[in-house]
A and B are shown apart, each in its own frame.
Chain A
Amino acid sequence: MRWISDAKRRQHCAAACIPLLAAAVVFAQQPSGRPVVAPPTPPGTSAVLSATPSKPPAPVSYRVVLDPAHGGADPGAELQTGLDEKTFTLTLAQAVAAELRAHSIPVTLTRTTDVALTGGARAQAMNLLHVAACISLHATASGSGVHLYTSAQVQSATPDGQREFVPWRTEQAGYVERSLRLESEVNSELTRAHIPVLMGRATLMPMESAACPALAVEVAPLNDGTTLSDAKYQQQVADALTAALIDWSADWKVQP
């Protein structure tokens, strides 16, 4: 009887002390009140890994992926009254695709209707095909001419196909040099068509996850008052992009 009482008392002591200690420790680890801004993680170091095949098959034939940005519930920019970016990019993509097909160049569009796609889904469409050029098409009411953007990542030292796993959103690092060459060819054709070009580097999806020479093309109105709904301007841009992608078909295999 005495032994049972002692044991009970010990249990009571443990029951009283341990939760108090535990509560104190947990409380100390969780500052409350005004939120503290947590230091963000460094860019490009996401722990999520995408299972890129260790040796992606090289593209056997020249193929282009055109990615009309936005779509569905995401209209993109309102370019002018009644013209959304999603509609403009789809029209432009279809025009370029038609011209390329007329030159017997295979083309894949990430979307052919007004549907919403995630950046990941677009990148997947690009990466499954192992293509020679991936062009994302955008449009804006700001600035003038055509803005060309390549990834802000630095070219990775490890050649493509030798990396077992590539961190999510860094696949483009293996293609940056070729993307810059592709950008140069597009720049040449647009300049030949007397369309002003600005070139820059940015972090954009799906470009960061594209395992192909990739470029974002953003079409803006012209300084002389030409709007994005101008059919002649649209045709000029489509022709220049087509010409650049025809040039690229002869150059894309050349190693940098």
Chain B
Amino acid sequence: MIPRWQQIIFWTLLLSTVGMAAYLIRLRSRTENRLLAVQDTAPVVASEDAPNAPVTLLIASDFEGALLPVQRFAPLPEEPSARAKAVLTALFAEYATPESPHPLAALTAVDTVYLLPVPASTPASTSMTASGIAPALNRATAPTPIPAATPPTAPTADAPTTDVLASPLLAVVNLNGDFVAHHPSGIEVENLTLLSIVSTLHANLPQITRVHFLVDGQPKDTLAGHADLTQDYWTAAMPITSTAATPEVQR
């Protein structure tokens, strides 16, 4: 016969164990949902019915070794991740044209763009400069084509004002493996593609201060043998604090 006090202790312990387990599962589920909230809202295909809006594309030129701003109209969804992907879709449509100054294969270049808050622990400056932006703008023989303040087309007054828009964002750009396999190889041509992506994202979504690249969801050392994909690319020296700010691209 088990004494009554032992039975009480046993059932109390068992109940508290089950209770704690249930609480932890719920806590975990809530955390996971919060982390995935931004990704879940990103449509797999950018909405075709989104209204046409002006976009600023920073088009790479292989011969000038520089980025040249052009204005285009493209369907831009309101949701930031989908908008970022739509902007890049418009960018790579330019590169697939026969007269492109930076010819790239007419393949889907970007599978997804995830937007995440820039980790708070990120040091303001590291031993690397904003190497993503610096290369194309430090040309000695080419004029700097980017205006001091690139007019942002987003966010505008009617853009959604969620928490995601209020703080600096890390964009994780998931490149398509087939596109990467067909990308021309070379230091300049590869770096220009990355800089074009980074600068175009920042010009249209100024909250994006940092870009990380994946290929088919996996980390990769280089784009096509040269440009480094292991490091993040920074769009501005300092993170912005409000959507109204349009930080100058670091030179």
* A residues adjacent to B (C-beta < 8 A): 6, 9, 13, 16-17, 20-21, 23-25, 27-29, 31, 33-37, 39-40, 42-45, 70, 74, 76-78, 85, 138-144, 147, 149, 152-154, 156, 167, 170, 173, 187, 196-205, 216, 218, 220, 223
Contacts and interface: CB of A to CB of B under 8 A. Distances in A.
20 contacts: A16-B14, A17-B13, A27-B28, A28-B28, A31-B28, A33-B32, A35-B217, A36-B32, A78-B185, A85-B185, A140-B188, A141-B184, A142-B189, A143-B62, A147-B187, A149-B187, A198-B142, A198-B188, A203-B228, A203-B231
A51 to B, nearest CB: 18
Contacts of B31: 31
Contacts of B188: 140, 142-143, 147, 198, 200, 218, 220
Most B CB contacts (10 A, CB to CB) among A42, A144, A218 go to A42
Given A147-B65, A218-B186, A200 B135 contact: yes
A44 B217 CA distance: 22
A143 B184 CA distance: 11
A152 B31 CA distance: 37
Interface string B14-26: 1001101100110
A156 B28 CA distance: 43
Most buried by B among A76, A78, A153, A202: A202
Interface in B219-234: 224-228, 231-232
- Most-contacted residue by chain A among B20, B32, B191, B227 (CB, 10 A): B191
Contacts of A13: 9-10, 13
B6 interface: yes
Contacts of B135: 149, 152, 200-202
Contacts of B65: 143, 147, 198, 200
Interface residues of B, number: 60
B186 A42 contact: no
B247 to A, nearest CB: 19
Contacts of B225: 70, 74, 76-77
Interface stretch (B86-94, B118-126, B160-168): B118-126
Contacts of A17: 13-14, 17
A153 B128 contact: yes
B138 A200 contact: yes
Given A45-B126, A143-B65, A27 B25 contact: yes
B2 A9 contact: yes
Given A200-B138, A203-B228, A152 B185 contact: no
Contacts of A16: 14
Contact of A199 (B2, B63, B138): B138
A220 B65 CA distance: 12
A229 to B, nearest CB: 17
Contacts of A149: 135, 187
Contact of A34 (B36, B62, B131): B36
Contact of B32 (A31, A139, A204): A31
Given A21-B20, A28-B25, A44-B128, A140 B187 contact: yes
Contact of B27 (A28, A39, A170): A28
B184 A167 contact: no
A35 B232 CA distance: 20
A4 to B, nearest CB: 14
Contacts of A205: 228
Contacts of B136: 200
For the complex of A and B, 8 pairs with smallest distance between CB atoms: A140-B186, A152-B131, A77-B185, A43-B231, A24-B21, A142-B189, A198-B65, A28-B24
A152 B24 contact: no
A21 B16 CA distance: 10
Contact of B141 (A25, A76, A196): A196
B139 interface: yes
B134 interface: yes
Given A36-B35, A201-B131, 6 more contacts: A24-B21, A31-B35, A37-B214, A144-B62, A156-B127, A204-B187
A64 B142 CA distance: 29
A77 B184 contact: yes
